[in-house]
Structure 1
């Protein structure tokens, strides 16, 4: 069978000409591509709406805190300059700085590197840069808050030519207080000085973003200077060579006794001595104090003798190395005798290091306290005998590092038990059993921070239990 190739090829050619003629029309091409693009845009729009709806359903609930927002990268707007003058001892200053960074972050103001107040009992002239790594502090927080070592030239001239506007912020204040009362003053005066910074921000009621920032400031940005850090670590290394050790923050110091009015175990002359010290300091309580009542309420530091009894009742081995953190013990030769007899391995940084190693720090109480802080945080067990910023700061830091053992003494119950033991009402075995039972759940474990909205001073302090920064726990105790 023969095929007519000429006829077949001719038919194909005619069809190709027809299709080519149709495709060659400009109007037809335009209509075709408009239809394609419109269809694609419609599909894209539908998909976007569906994804947005899905996102609303699965997204994590946002915080109610919207001023300022928390974008991945900080978009900075400067509402003014905040100068702070932290007061008190090392840890009072430290925790006050943490609060003020939060305030600066919240109000979008530039924070000037803290200028320490030096009119305290210790009269330490150390600057912020003498204790903390100032460059690390600034750079670590640069994504959160703008921090400068000093005011810019124009603002500096203004501060030098006229008195700075200053105020004492409210204790345990809410964010609303800073927004409504403080921000307008900064905007009006451009520069604001906070004359005191201790406990100026609420423990509770802050967004978790800011509570966690508090922890980053405290545990990450406030790094001690290299000389302090190296000296503190050297003490820890020497102690570790002897085995596990306990850090005891023994607050039986003259200024603590004078400030509180506690005189347990003092002679009449010694009681008069500490009372005169209290009356010599402006701002300390000058009216009569009932020391017996204060002690019964647990508002006095344990004496060294009481501490020895408590340690023995808790079953702490007498061969344990005990590092004593804190200042000079009042009348130490007499008052430390019982504790030294019960626990012969008592050490201090002054007995561990050579005089030449401590020489650069000896006249600077805050720098000496920084080394005690390092040792206390690293110890196997930490026990403070009184409340205070050091006890709170170390306890919180140890929780942050994995709930390291911190025994929080129930002083109110302990002084009652000690008195009953001394007057023969309790036998030693009964006394020891009650002391142990009392402190079974006071070891720095994960617990819910106690909140008392109308009485913030009676709440658990944020820095002793920064629960927003810690691993979650399932069931908080009902009696906390």
Structure 2
């Protein structure tokens, strides 16, 4: 019995003092799951870093690579975990086998501790054999993982070419190469790069001296009418040699409780900038002298209300004598202007003065410019360009042209009601009911947003194009924008780009309006109740009906507050007048963002009403600032004809139809569209096409067309003066810097085209088939009938 107890003591002593190998084994067994997780995460990280460092690989292929690498490294980690698990299982004491071996050892002679020594030798040999098996298994696992990794890399790299080829066949009408396609969609237009803005005086232009009197004006109307009228007033003040008092903007003056921080002219524009910019042209003051203010209140000064087509001779013959006599002349402007757009050829300096006012002196106040810059930065935050689109869906304009039948339900009634009022005022000299579809075929109605989306898609603009929706009023609401938003999900406006706090800061602090909540009926006295009881009918009488539900202020605002109750539109409330003032600010923001846009598409410009419209002013400003910019000048009559020809397959157009649309819109960007716009819009608003008076040409090329004259004999294009030498040198230096910066991009685009030359020569039928399939897939999401 003694040797057995000694043997137990020796065995316990050996187990109680673990070796370094035993401690490592126990730590690996305890933390094997954590080890496998670390290996898997390291595999994911290394594979992603490897794949995302390859610029020509598609995102989906990169994800496949990452998964394959992770699987390969995970396989190695699992192999190691399996080996550790096997060793752990083998190293545990077994109940049956261990007992048998112990009995065998105990059956051996134990004289002098010889049995204990032999048992320890056997255990050491067993551990050494298992260590060699672990190394062998780990080596086999790592080898298999490396082979699997190489196989995955070979298969993935071999499949990359197919993905790139499929991507390049996305648009079969444009040549291969993203750079070239980008230039076609976003410009610049090479045929108009020679035109540069130049509105400085050309001839003798003296500084104003002795003045004949003061002119103060009140301007009514929307944003576009205000801007055009201010330019005409400055030209009239120069013509009459008068001092101009900063005009009053009635939309902001008559609004009650508007912010006292911004009033009248300063509600939109910077007064100090306006006065300083015109110091060499016209003397501008903020208000009349004190002695003349009192007489103004008593209306002692003569008043004139000119139309937008008033000639300069009217002012020199009729207004100038009265101005010299009374020293003050009041002008009421409500027609969007007070001087005819096209002036005689000897008055070109007055046309350039209009340009200096519109494009240099009329600067928005700092708050509008700051918020406008933020909006432009947010639109270009992804590093790409954006397109601005103005639908032109204004209720008064739609009523003027008789486009009521293009809408449904209550919107048609609202347009017809407005048209009826225009007929009573004498603005419209036509029947109340007209054929709206015939008007649209003639180009007298705007393109609906769905049609604009189809045209942009035909031009090749991808679905992720950022489109800014301009305009403070879009008659028809969000319902009419649903098809366009389905085609281009990145359709944004000021409400989605700016926070409510930013917009409220732009408005400024305003006084609260008086509450217009429904007042409860007066409480009747006991005597009145008794008298009513006596005068009532026989008993028993039915209970009176319950009181009607009260109507709150928000239910009375807008057209939906009266259209279902009365046949006449009530006078605008205080809130309606305040909202009209706010629309001036929203139009100012949209104007700023549209002028700075990389491309502009008008929905309803040059409508033929004779009033200046928002889109035409934006197009004129963009043409003056950068004539080579992408500014579409579409012919609505031509586009409506093309859309009608494919009415049944608009979402699956033919190749020929797409080519016709692209040919028309591309021509509208160049000289052809430039001349057509001059013939149609300049007669209504000079600011919509300030050429050739406010421009110069950097060089005379053989491709330049000759003098293009209008039907009335006015010069439209081709006789621009050459730019001064200092401007030519500055443009040359700027172009050299730009060319040096673009060389790398051009080489990259050429390499991309050369590498995929075989794809550009692929069968067009396959391209048509893939394009049709892609259109059918998109059509399931953008069907307007859903």
- Whether the 8 Å contact between 1:408 and 1:443 is mirrored in structure 2 is yes
Counterparts of 1:380 and 1:199, CA distance in 2: 29
Cα distance in 1 between the residues matched to 2:473 and 2:208 = 49
In the alignment, which residue of structure 2 is the partner of 1:76?
209
Residue equivalent to 1:138: 275
Kept in 1, the 8 Å contact 2:677–2:689? The answer is no
Structure with bigger helix share is 2
- 8 Å CA contact 1:131, 1:225 repeated in 2: yes
Matched, 1:373 2:591: yes
Q: 2:52 matched to which residue of 1?
A: none
Which residue is equivalent to 2:454? 309
> Secondary structure at 2:437's aligned position in 1?
helix
Quote the residue 1:108 is aligned against: 241
The residue that corresponds to 2:380 in the other structure is 240
Deviation at 1:314, TM superposition (A): 2.2
Cα deviation for residue 163 of structure 1 reads 4.5
More displaced, 428-437 or 467-476?
A: 467-476
Cα 1:213–1:414, aligned 2, differ >3 Å: closer, same or farther?
Answer: same
1:382 pairs with one of 600, 621, 625 = 600
- 2:217–2:245 Cα contact (<8 Å) kept: yes
Distance 1:271 1:99 in 2: 36
1:192 aligns with 2:329: yes
Q: Is the 8 A contact 2:416 2:432 kept in 1?
A: no
Question: In structure 2, how many angstroms separate the alpha carbons of the residues matched to 1:408 and 1:145?
Answer: 34
1:90 equivalenced with 2:184 (yes/no): no
RMSD of aligned residue pairs (Cα, Å): 3.1
Residue from 399, 423, 428 that aligns with 1:285:
428
For residue 303 of structure 2, give the secondary structure of its aligned residue in structure 1: strand
Alpha-carbon separation, structure 1, partners of 2:217 and 2:475? 33
Structure 1 pair 407–133 and aligned structure 2 pair: CA distance change class (3 A): same
C-alpha displacement of 1:89: 1.1
TM-score scaled by length of structure 1: 0.77
Structure 2: distance between partners of 1:334 and 1:85: 37
Q: Give the alignment of 1:244-393 within 5 angstroms.
A: 244-280=385-421, 283=425, 285=428, 287-290=431-434, 291-361=436-506, 363=579, 364-387=582-605, 388-393=612-617
Classify 1:109/1:85 alpha carbon distance in 2 versus 1 (closer, same or farther; 3 Å): same
Answer yes or no: is the 8 Å Cα contact 1:167–1:193 preserved in 2: yes
Task: For residue 441 of structure 1, give the secondary structure of its aligned residue in structure 2.
Answer: helix
Alpha-carbon offset, residue 335 of structure 1: 1.5
CA offsets 1:370-425 (integer angstroms, 9 cap, x no match): 11111000000011100252212211111122212110121111112212211569
Kept after mapping to 2: 8 A contact 1:450/1:459:
no
Is 1:420 aligned to residue 649 of structure 2?
no
Counterpart in 2 of 1:440?
666
1:396 has 2:541 as partner: no
Which blocks of at least 5 consecutive residues in structure 2 are unaligned?
Answer: 1-200, 508-578, 606-611, 711-786
8 A contact 1:79–1:109 mirrored in 2: yes
Aligned equivalents of 1:438, 1:220: Cα separation in 2: 33
Residue 309 of structure 2 is aligned to residue 165 of structure 1: no
**Given that residues 601 and 632 in structure 2 are in contact (C-alpha distance below 8 angstroms), is that contact kept between their aligned partners in structure 1?**
yes
- Could you say which residue in structure 1 is the equivalent of 2:166? none
CA distance in structure 2 between the partners assigned to 1:219 and 1:288 by the alignment: 39
- Contact 1:264 / 1:303 at 8 angstroms: preserved in 2? no
Partner of 1:429: 655
Alignment of 1:33-48 (within 5 A): none
Secondary structure of 2:669's match?
coil
Secondary structure of 2:339's aligned partner: coil
Contact 1:304 1:335 in 2 (8 A): yes
How many Å apart are 1:361 and its aligned residue? 4.4
- Separation in structure 2 between the aligned mates of residue 78 and residue 313 of structure 1, nearest angstrom: 58
Is the Cα contact below 8 Å between 2:305 and 2:331 reproduced in 1? yes
Counterparts of 2:379 and 2:678, CA distance in 1: 38
Partners of 2:227 and 2:257 in 1: CA distance: 15
1:198-243: CA deviation from partner (whole Å, max 9, x where unpaired): 2332333252322221111111111111111101110001111121
Within-5 A mapping of 1:10-89: 70-71=205-206, 74-89=207-222
Whether the 8 Å CA contact 1:85–1:116 is kept in 2: the answer is yes
Structure 2 residue aligned with 1:214: 354
Deviation at 1:147, TM superposition (A): 1.0
State how far apart, in whole Å, the 2-side matches of 1:295 and 1:449 are: 19
1:81-118, Cα deviation, whole Å (9 max, x unpaired): 11122222112111110111011011101111011123
- Tell me if the contact between 1:84 and 1:195 (Cα under 8 Å) persists in the aligned partners: yes
Deviates more, 1:104-113 or 1:124-133: 124-133
Change (3 A) 1:407 1:421: same
Alpha-carbon offset, residue 458 of structure 1:
7.3
| Separation in structure 2 between the aligned mates of residue 415 and residue 120 of structure 1, nearest angstrom | 42
Report what 1:29 is aligned to: none
Structure 2 CA distance for aligned equivalents of residues 359 and 325 of structure 1: 19
Distance in 2, Cα, partners of 1:119 & 1:356: 21
Contact 1:248/1:323 (8 A) holds in 2: yes
CA deviation digits over 1:44-102, x for unaligned, max 9? xxxxxxxxxxxxxxxxxxx999xxx722xx24111121112222211211111011101
Instruction: Answer whether contact 1:406 1:443 (CA < 8 A) is retained.
Output: yes
Match of 2:251 in 1: 118
Task: Quote the Cα distance in structure 2 between the aligned partners of 1:142 and 1:124.
Answer: 33
Does the CA contact (< 8 Å) of 2:622 and 2:631 recur in 1?
yes
Contact 1:361 1:368 (C-alpha < 8 Å) held by counterparts: no
Identify the match of residue 229 of structure 1 among 330, 350, 369: 369
Identify which of 683, 690, 698 aligns with 1:466: 690
Shift of 1:138: 1.1
SS at structure 1 position matched to 2:329: strand
Task: Report the alpha carbon displacement of residue 161 of structure 1 after superposing the two structures with TM.
Answer: 2.2
| Number of residue pairs the alignment of both structures matches | 410
